[in-house]
């Protein structure tokens, strides 16, 4: 297989959504996917997108994707690249597509003078954890991720008015 990484473009919405659904299925979170192709068009391919995607292709066939955005580190005084999702279809795992996606992201991070690249992984996902560690990534065990969604997010927003 010959892996090629390209930036996602308008017209890739159905493909990206299929990767998102495959990832959600793998992570046993299919019930949480509410994204549509229209959402992806509006957020990834608008005039000023805040998130971006890469597509991995092997011999011209799409086999994986990465979705990322830029954040900011006050301690570093630099932007960072945050990898929201990385997924490679099972048939292509172990063939270099995941590493090629991460290498392309590392290149984008350096081109944008980012001080770091980060992502989260489910604690039960041993194959991914081993893969990330093999690349030199280090877990941030001392940090806990918090999230507000739905009603709690709306309730807190009311405090701003």
The residue whose two tokens read 């570093």 is 76
**125 by DSSP, 3-state: which?**
coil
Quote the number of domains for the chain: 1
Q: What is the pLDDT of residue 1?
A: 58
Q: Provide the Cα torsion 120, 123, 124, 127; round to 10°.
A: 60
Known active-site residue 132: yes
Half-sphere exposure of 3 (CA within 13 A, CB side): 21
Tokens of 138: 């280090």
> Would you give per-residue pLDDT tens digits along the chain (161 residues)?
589 999 999 999 999 999 999 999 999 999 999 999 999 999 999 999 999 999 999 999 999 999 999 999 999 999 999 999 999 999 999 899 999 999 999 999 999 999 999 999 999 999 999 999 999 999 999 999 999 999 999 999 999 98
Q: What CATH code is carried by the domain that includes residue 23?
A: 3.40.630.30
Nearest residue to 17 (alpha-carbon basis) of 62, 57, 71, 49: 62
Containing domain of residue 26, as a range? Answer: 3-158
User: How many Å apart are CA 84 and CA 105, to the nearest integer?
Assistant: 12
Q: Which of 68, 72, 82, 132 is catalytic?
A: 132
Whether this model's pTM surpasses 0.75? yes
User: How many Å apart are CA 146 and CA 152, to the nearest integer?
Assistant: 12
């Amino acid at each position: 297989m010959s892996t090629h990484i390209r930036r996602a473009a308008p017209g890739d919405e159905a493909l990206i959504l299929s990767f998102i659904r495959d990832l959600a299925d793998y992570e046993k979170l299919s019930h949480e996917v509410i994204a549509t192709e229209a959402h992806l068009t509006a957020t990834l391919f608008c005039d000023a997108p805040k998130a971006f995607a890469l597509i991995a292709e092997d011999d011209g066939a799409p086999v994986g994707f990465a979705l990322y955005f830029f954040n900011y580190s006050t301690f570093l005084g630099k932007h960072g690249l945050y990898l929201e999702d990385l997924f490679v279809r099972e048939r292509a795992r172990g063939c270099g597509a995941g590493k090629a996606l991460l290498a392309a992201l590392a290149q984008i991070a350096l081109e944008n003078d980012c001080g770091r690249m980060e992502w989260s992984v489910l604690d039960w996902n041993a194959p991914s954890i081993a893969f990330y560690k093999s690349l030199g990534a280090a877990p941030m065990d001392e940090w806990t991720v918090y999230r507000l969604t739905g009603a709690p997010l709306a309730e807190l927003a009311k405090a701003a008015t």
